[in-house]
């Protein structure tokens, strides 16, 4: 069962320069800001800033809890290359 322990904040998904492929994904709980793109999944608000929205359009954020590969996974149709760790991409 999903329980809110984030203080009512939204899950922010964003990208920034860095990582081994040029851009890297980040996920944090944060306040909603003006001009954010807003969605919801599983009762949790998800926000994306304007800059990141250009890189994340059409992306799917999923969570895996398998023995060898657990954590958030982002499938991004805009990525031309991906790092082996799944946290970095190039456009």
Please choose, from the candidates 23, 45, 17, 47, the residue with its C-alpha nearest in 3D space to the C-alpha of residue 35: 47
Question: What is the average per-residue pLDDT within 38-42?
Answer: 85
Question: What is the average per-residue pLDDT within 54-82?
Answer: 83
Predicted local distance difference test score (pLDDT) of residue 43: 81
What is the set of domains in the chain, with CATH numbers?
A: 10-90 (2.60.300.12)
Q: How far apart are CA 25 and CA 8, in angstroms?
A: 22
Global pTM? 0.76
């Amino acid at each position: 069962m999903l329980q809110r322990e984030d203080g009512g904040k939204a899950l922010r998904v964003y990208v920034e320069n860095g990582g081994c492929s040029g851009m890297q994904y980040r996920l944090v709980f944060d306040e909603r800001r003006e001009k954010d793109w807003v969605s919801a999944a599983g009762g949790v608000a998800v926000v994306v800033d304007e800059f990141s929205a250009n890189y994340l359009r059409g992306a799917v954020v999923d969570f895996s809890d398998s023995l060898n590969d657990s954590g958030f996974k982002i499938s991004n149709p805009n990525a031309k290359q991906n790092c082996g760790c799944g946290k970095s991409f190039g456009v």
